[in-house]
């Protein structure tokens, strides 16, 4: 087999890359080991007509106009804005913590006192972190502010992080902890500072099909490239699959935090009051998503049933998040040094760069690479 450009992996990185090369008239072959395109952003309609995000809910959000304009070429987007709720002390409260959360979580006199104190230090509509709040509490000797910082850390961040990453409280990186956001407003959107948000008007996989719709793109599914790479003659090779796998794990296997996505059908119109609910403190799962609520029109098709997805951290389904550790960092550096020595092989995307990136940053990374 012969091609100009060989891309390994038909996830978002491989798809944007293929689209950009094909648009320049290049001949592209994509090899993907799964039986579908889209990588972890893959979605599909099940036999009952429910849209399922197979590898967890994916919400598009960005503050990069370039990325928003690019993606709009392939799909219209709804104006969906994520409002996330956390199951805290038996109630569903908005996350990130904001004034609405404060009034639902605390007695009115305490919430009002905290609101007034916060507004003496920070402008309305600003975003601060627990780290900043703790410093302010110490500087100004304000016990109410330390109480608030401790509440948010304990109830929203600590147990969730321990559960999701499978680590103890002592292992939580203090720098990450300092970044936990607090919104000085009643805006309870999860991404209030991202100007562009939405869901593809149809579904992600449909959008990806359009991105790959060029006569000069060929796609091979159900094929692990390791099996047939020696049979392909190519000019340039793009790896969006794991970097350690490319080098046959010669320095060891980079570790990922696994996540299991468990689907359940319930014979009720609505399972929960919010699309996505986080469970920082209770139960084994970290969150539950009720898929049909992403598209309000689907609520009228399925009045007596609903599908939910529970996420169980640490169990096998996908290798979701790179594990931050000094061993992994050193191993990655060794692989990256070897990668740089190669002439016509390029490493892009979350698995080849061993780095979590949201979809917008994944797209931006490939667009910049092409430039």
Ligand X SMILES: Cc1cc2nc3c(=O)[nH]c(=O)nc-3n(C[C@H](O)[C@H](O)[C@H](O)COP(=O)(O)OP(=O)(O)OC[C@H]3O[C@@H](n4cnc5c(N)ncnc54)[C@H](O)[C@@H]3O)c2cc1C
Question: How distant is the alpha carbon of residue 108 from its chain centre?
Answer: 35
Using the rule CB under 6 A, give the single segment among 143-151, 222-230, 275-283, 337-345 that binds ligand X: 222-230
- Per-residue contact flags (x/-) with ligand X for residues 342 to 371, judged by CB under 6 A: -------xxx-----xxxx-x---------
Residue 317 in contact with ligand X, rule: CB under 6 A: no
Name which of 32 and 187 has its Cβ closer to ligand X: 32
Residue 302 in contact with ligand X, rule: CB under 6 A: no
Residue 95 in contact with ligand X, rule: CB under 6 A: no
- Per-residue contact flags (x/-) with ligand X for residues 34 to 53, judged by CB under 6 A: x----xxx------------
Residue 56 in contact with ligand X, rule: CB under 6 A: yes
* Token couple for 224: 């692990």
Please, are residues 157 and 177 in contact by the beta-carbon 8 Å criterion? yes
**194: helix, coil or strand?**
coil
Residue 320 in contact with ligand X, rule: CB under 6 A: yes
Among 203, 225, 238, 279, binds ligand X (CB under 6 A): 225
Among 19, 161, 205, 241, binds ligand X (CB under 6 A): 241
- Per-residue contact flags (x/-) with ligand X for residues 248 to 287, judged by CB under 6 A: -----------x----------------------------
Residue 226 in contact with ligand X, rule: CB under 6 A: yes
Name which of 135 and 209 has its Cβ closer to ligand X: 209
Residue 11 in contact with ligand X, rule: CB under 6 A: yes
Of 52, 67, 316, the C-alpha closest to 194 is: 67
Among 7, 29, 59, 277, binds ligand X (CB under 6 A): 59
Report the alpha-carbon angle 6-244-27, nearest 5: 5
* Token couple for 139: 């500087």
Bridge partners of 3, per DSSP, are: 234
- Per-residue contact flags (x/-) with ligand X for residues 102 to 131, judged by CB under 6 A: ------------------------------
Using the rule CB under 6 A, give the single segment among 132-140, 174-182, 220-228, 279-287 that binds ligand X: 220-228
Residue 31 in contact with ligand X, rule: CB under 6 A: yes
* Token couple for 281: 């403190």
- The span from the CA of 354 to the CA of 241, in Å, is 10
Residue 313 in contact with ligand X, rule: CB under 6 A: no
Q: How far is CA 125 from CA 15, 114, 122, 128, 196, in A?
A: 37, 15, 9, 10, 18
Residue 58 in contact with ligand X, rule: CB under 6 A: yes
* CB of 214 vs ligand X, minimal distance in Å: 18
Helix residue ranges per DSSP H, the chain: 12-23, 65-72, 99-105, 108-121, 130-140, 143-152, 159-165, 174-178, 204-211, 225-228, 243-246, 298-301, 326-340, 349-352, 359-370
For residue 341, give the DSSP letter: T
Name which of 31 and 148 has its Cβ closer to ligand X: 31
- The span from the CA of 105 to the CA of 108, in Å, is 9
* CB of 331 vs ligand X, minimal distance in Å: 18
Residue 200 in contact with ligand X, rule: CB under 6 A: no
Residue 319 burial (10 A CB sphere; 0-12, 13-18, 19+): middle
- The span from the CA of 287 to the CA of 84, in Å, is 10
Residue 149 in contact with ligand X, rule: CB under 6 A: no
Interface contacts to ligand X, rule CB under 6 A = 8-14, 31-34, 39-41, 55-59, 224-226, 240-241, 245, 259, 320, 349-351, 357-360, 362
């Amino acid at each position: 087999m012969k091609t100009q450009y060989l891309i390994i992996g038909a996830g978002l990185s491989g798809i944007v890359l293929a689209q950009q090369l094909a648009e320049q008239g290049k001949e592209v072959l994509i090899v993907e080991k799964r039986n579908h395109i889209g990588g972890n952003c893959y979605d599909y309609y099940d036999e009952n007509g429910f849209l399922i995000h197979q590898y967890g809910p994916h919400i598009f959000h960005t503050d990069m106009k370039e990325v928003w304009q690019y993606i709009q070429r392939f799909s219209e987007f709804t104006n969906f804005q994520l409002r996330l709720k956390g199951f805290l002390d038996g109630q569903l409260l908005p996350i990130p913590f904001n004034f609405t959360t404060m009034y639902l979580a605390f007695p009115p006199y305490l919430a009002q006192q905290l609101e007034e104190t916060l507004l003496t230090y920070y402008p309305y509509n600003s975003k601060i972190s627990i780290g900043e709040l703790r410093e302010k509490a110490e500087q100004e000797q304000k016990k109410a502010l330390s109480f608030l910082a401790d509440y948010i850390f304990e109830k929203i961040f600590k147990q969730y992080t321990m559960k999701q990453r499978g680590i103890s409280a002592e292992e939580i990186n203090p720098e990450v902890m300092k970044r936990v956001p607090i919104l000085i407003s009643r805006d309870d959107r999860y991404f209030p500072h991202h100007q562009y948000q939405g869901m593809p008007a149809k579904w992600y996989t449909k959008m990806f099909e359009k991105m790959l719709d060029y006569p000069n793109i060929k796609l091979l599914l159900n094929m692990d490239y390791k099996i047939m790479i020696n049979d392909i003659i190519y000019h340039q090779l793009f790896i969006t699959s794991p970097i350690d796998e490319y080098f046959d794990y010669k320095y060891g296997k980079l570790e990922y935090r696994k996540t299991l996505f468990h689907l359940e059908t319930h014979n009720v119109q609505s399972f929960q009051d919010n699309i996505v609910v986080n469970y920082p403190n209770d139960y084994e799962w970290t969150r539950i998503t009720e898929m049909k609520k992403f598209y309000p029109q689907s609520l009228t098709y399925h009045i007596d049933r609903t599908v939910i997805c529970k996420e169980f951290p640490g169990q096998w389904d996908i290798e979701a998040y790179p594990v931050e550790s000094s061993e992994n960092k050193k191993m990655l550096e060794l692989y990256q040094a070897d990668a740089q020595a190669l002439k016509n092989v390029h490493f892009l995307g979350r698995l080849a760069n061993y780095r979590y990136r949201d979809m917008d940053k994944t797209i931006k990374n490939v667009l910049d690479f092409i430039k």
